[in-house]
Amino acid sequence: MKKRKFSRQKIPRRKRTSKLTYKDYSRMCRFRFNLEDYPKEFDLKLIEEFGWYNNDNPNGFSRDHMLSISYGWKRDIPPGIIRHPANCKLMPYNNNLEKGWRSSINYSDLMDRIRDWNKKYK
């Protein structure tokens, strides 16, 4: 797979108003949907071929939050937006680990994706 560089988004931070800890926020942002419910959106053949990442399968795939949990927490973005299926991308775990806290999409583009997703999957 081709490596992509991810850059920090230059959007001013606003003062956090939420009292949630990062740990609690992160827990609330976990994806709760089944990939098999959206076979046209996710290449499930990747999972068949490489499997999910775990200690016994270091080359497996994982779900990536395109707009990162860290970005959402710092800017008080509701967890429902961060865990939305439109914010999910399958990627090799090692690439996801390398990406770290950085986002691969901006907030405005994610909101457009969510709007289109919700129209498609009412």
- Per-residue pLDDT at 122: 81
Question: Three-state SS string across the chain, please?
Answer: CCCCCCCCCCCCCCCCCCCCCHHHHHHHCCCCCCHHHCCCCCCHHHHHHHCECECCECCCEEEEECCCHHHHHHCCCCHHHHCCHHHEEEEEHHHHHHHCCCCCCCHHHHHHHHHHHHHHCC
**64 phi/psi in degrees, rounded to 5:** -110, 135
The per-residue pLDDT for range 58-87, each reduced to its tens digit, is: 999 999 999 999 999 999 999 999 999 999
Q: Any idea where the domains of the chain sit in the sequence?
A: 39-120
pTM for this prediction: 0.82
